[in-house]
Amino acid sequence: MAESGVLANRDFMLLWTGNAASFVGFHNVRIAYPLLVLTVADSAPMAGWVGFSMVLPSLLFPIPAGVVADRWNRRRTLLTCQLVGLAATGLAAAIVLATPPRIGVLLCITAFLEGSAYAFFGVCELAAVRDVVTARQRAAAFAFLEAEQPIAILIGRASGAAGYGLARWFPFAANAVSYLFCLATLSTMRGEFAARRPTEPGPDTGGSTRIWAGVRVAWSEPFLRFTTAVTGVSNLIIQVVILAMLVDLTGAGRPAWTAGMVLGAAGVGGLLGSAASPWLSTRVGAVAVYRGALCVWSALLLPIAVSTDPSVLALCWCGVGAVGVTSNVALAVFAVDVLPPETLGRAIGAISLVTQGGGALGTLAAGYLLASLGPAATSKLAFAAMLTLAAAGFAASRSVRAAPV
């Protein structure tokens, strides 16, 4: 019943469809950026730097993005983010066509701009969902929200790699179209998505006090504190595996669409995970879901570490996507239920600072690990790190209890 309620919610569906299309375009260029650098500059470290530039805003802006989500009109913020992303991808397309000297440095700049828009949009969208859905619709709404990523990964990575094979500028043009579609859907929403205010009046505090209020709220919840730290490290490992597979597949002389197929398989798994996640998040519980995620991730990285068969890689990466979405939904529902609404954006930003920041550092580290160790040894190192993290996280979770969702 909750799912049908979400489908009938006009503002939520406009928000979801527009952002899903925008994410498809974003993942189009997210795979095109490293492919372009590997082709033009033949440099794995530079490919790592370009990827790092796209996710660096995840280190810099999550908490400021949370302040914006709490203090400003959320729909206007979402529209502004799409305009910035559109300008950045247009500039990147011009750079690709001109192929100037130091193209890697220039692409780092455009990737950083797009990543910044993405960082602000993601935090603001998560806070905006609470404004347009009821409490009973939350599990279904966040399942839909998490399905954005696998849809974008499935379509964006596959079409981005295939489009890159047709023309280097094509993924950036497709990204621009997705931004325009999202702008259209956001513009037709009726709700204002006004920022929430504290329920009790009080003196206005300074900016730093407002920022740290969200950090304190998120860090004071034991289960959120534990999962945030562990997820940050696991995201670092996952980013190393992604670039290792990309370098391995392109280095073996396989066509670009093969890399898109392998990495896009996470989207298929994510869709399966999003279908099961509402039931798991409300019936099984966040602690059990997260423990299972750590164990399954470790098991799936073992075949990736020892095999170069694209079919094996795609199957395992499909499982990684399914587990990732399932755990993300459980954690999102738990966070929205326990966090105060007036500091929700800042608390989400504080959590994203660690989780997305881990991915940013992993993207940067991956380039240097691959340059020094090669893809095979790097994949084995990533498996060992994830296995160690899972064992430590599973043991530590025994002393962590989450309130029932």
Q: For the segment 187-208, what is each residue's pLDDT rounded down to a tens digit?
A: 888 765 655 544 444 444 445 5
User: Rounded mean pLDDT of the chain?
Assistant: 79
Task: Give the residue among 241, 266, 278 at the shortest CA–CA distance from 319.
Answer: 266
- Percent of the chain at pLDDT above 70? 88
Mean pLDDT of the 236-249 span: 86
Q: How confident is the model at residue 88 (pLDDT cuts 50, 70, 90)?
A: very high
Rounded CA-CA distance 100/26 in Å is 23
Question: Whose structure tokens read 């597979």?
Answer: 245
Write the CB contacts of 232 (distance below 8 Å, at least 6 apart in sequence).
354, 355, 357, 358
Give the phi and the psi of residue 403 in degrees, each rounded to 5: -65, 145
Tokens of 174: 């497709």
Mean pLDDT of the 288-312 span: 88
Rounded CA-CA distance 403/337 in Å is 10
Question: 352-380 pLDDT, tens per residue?
Answer: 778 877 877 887 788 788 888 888 888 89
Give the phi and the psi of residue 205 in degrees, each rounded to 5: -95, 170
Rounded CA-CA distance 208/321 in Å is 37
- CATH code, residues 2-191+209-397: 1.20.1250.20
pTM score, two decimals?
A: 0.62
Give the phi and the psi of residue 303 in degrees, each rounded to 5: -60, -35
Mean pLDDT of the 230-234 span: 89
Mean pLDDT of the 217-225 span: 80
Given a cut of 60, is residue 109 above it in pLDDT?
A: yes
Question: Are residues 269 and 41 in contact, defined by beta-carbon separation less than 8 angstroms?
Answer: no
